[in-house]
Amino acid sequence: MVDRPNSPAFRDVAVNFHPYTNARKHEDKGAMVIREGKGIHVYDDTGKEYIEGLAGLWSVAVGFGEPRLVEAARAQMEKLPFYHSFAHKSHEPSIELSERLLAMAPGKMSKVFYTSSGSEANDTAIKLVWYYNNARGRPEKKKIISRIKGYHGITIASGSLTGLPYNHKDFDLPIKNILHTACPHHWRFGWEGESEEEFASRLAGELEQLILTEGPETVAAFIGEPVMGAGGVIVPPRTYWQKIQTVCRKYDVLVIADEVINGFGRTGQLWGSTTYGIEPDMVICSKQLTSSYMPLAALLFSDEIYQAIADNTAKIGTFGHGFTASGHPVATAVALENLKIIEERDLVGNAARMGEHLQAGLRRFADHPLVGEVRGVGMIGCIELVADKTSKQAFDPAGAVGTYCYERCQEHGLIIRNLGDQMAFCPPLIIDETGLNQLLERFGQALDETAQWVGSKHQAAE
């Protein structure tokens, strides 16, 4: 209960409407008000310290309170605090960042378009796909295939790509021309005795059948996260991406890699596309691009796409799309410094090394009575809680046990995220072995207390 009339939590309830929050529950529960961050830790308004085990929202690569990013923002604010990129205007930070991104990108990228969020970037990707096919004289080739449990944002268009019920229910989504194919979660959706490779073949076959049913002349693109994030940290089964790409190339379907969570080291390599052998036609990145110190996202696309689009802008007279903050000079300056830190401190290498420690540590919970599956790669992982380990039966109602575990984690000074009954981990890339050991210890305490709570409720029900 929020009962301190002058507290930040009380004031928040009075004025703020929160994303991904039960508004009525929030009126009673109130907000955890975070006042400060340093390294892998954040501190609330009472001074309590927490390990930020989700890097904010999958995003703070270099940790909190990095002075070099503060200075980069200050210096750019002083020199050129804002300028737009409309009508042939530009500035040096955005030019330099684009050069750097194209040099490091997976696939053969040619141009960069900036937005302020991954949602806007994926929204722009949809518009580019449609514009590109109109430019090529293929007005029917407009359908984009995403996946069940995929997450690509929350605008009307990108929210349609997202394959999660809460993002569609009562928003009248998805819109026309957005389709969804199967989720590549082998543990949950594989048939009995079906290997990962067989599961991948089956899903590729289902994708091909969907394309044939819809008509290849109508299907324009396939979009996916290399490792699915908000859908439950779902690691693709072996050979999945190779088989999916083969189908896409067969029917001239563009491959779009959503690297918003994966990019800049999260999987233990620079890109999730590199980890899984994806050769995309478009790449979307955000979050760790600036460590979320500034809102920024980038859409990278191939020269083939650019040439068709450029010709069409000449025909029409302009490209009728853009944002006031596209390529904002302060955001791009911060991104440049952030990427320098990632490179200088070998944070991608640290993610690979510490990722092994994190994955091994999470897998030590595999025998716990509540744990159905432990999965992950690099510096991203998930523990799925189940009512019955043998049958993989989920808890009913969904999410209640995960929420209890999440709250117990916070009591022990650990912030992670429960995706229903899936406990997600994504610490800052700077974390060391000591920090990981503390994270794992605090989670273990919370998990044991959750098991006791579940057991007590079961006994009470009997």
Residue with tokens 């929202």: 57
pLDDT tens-place string over residues 12-71: 999 999 999 999 999 999 999 999 999 999 999 999 999 999 999 999 999 999 999 999
User: What gap in Å lies between CA 263 and CA 145, rounded to an integer?
Assistant: 21
Delimit the domains of the chain by residue range.
32-62+346-461, 68-344
pLDDT tens-place string over residues 179-232: 999 999 999 999 999 999 999 999 999 999 999 999 999 999 999 999 999 999
Tell me, what DSSP letter sits at residue 21?
Answer: S
For 165-189, what is the mean pLDDT? Answer: 97
Residue 459 has pLDDT above 80, yes or no: no
Banded pLDDT at 120 (limits 50, 70, 90): very high
The pLDDT value given to residue 1: 45
Q: Which fold has domain 32-62+346-461?
A: Aspartate Aminotransferase, domain 1 (3.90.1150)
Query: Which DSSP string do the residues of 306-342 spell out, in sequence order?
Result: HHHHHHHHHHHSS-----TTTT-HHHHHHHHHHHHHH
User: What gap in Å lies between CA 94 and CA 31, rounded to an integer?
Assistant: 36
**Chain mean pLDDT for the chain:** 97
The pLDDT value given to residue 460: 66
**Displacement of CA 33 from its chain's centroid (Å):** 23
**Same fold: 32-62+346-461 with 68-344:** no
The pLDDT value given to residue 406: 98
Q: Cβ of 301: how many Cβ atoms within 10 Å?
A: 28
The pLDDT value given to residue 214: 98
Give the lowest-confidence range in 124-138, 304-318, 445-459. Answer: 445-459
Specify the CATH number of the domain 68-344: 3.40.640.10
Banded pLDDT at 457 (limits 50, 70, 90): confident
- Burial string for 343-372 (b: 16+ CB within 10 Å, else e) reads eeeebbebbbbbbebbbebbeebeebebbb
pLDDT tens-place string over residues 347-377: 999 999 999 999 999 999 999 999 999 999 9
The pLDDT value given to residue 6: 81
User: What gap in Å lies between CA 379 and CA 441, rounded to an integer?
Assistant: 17
pLDDT tens-place string over residues 67-93: 999 999 999 999 999 999 999 999 999
Q: What percent of the chain has a predicted confidence (pLDDT) above 90?
A: 96
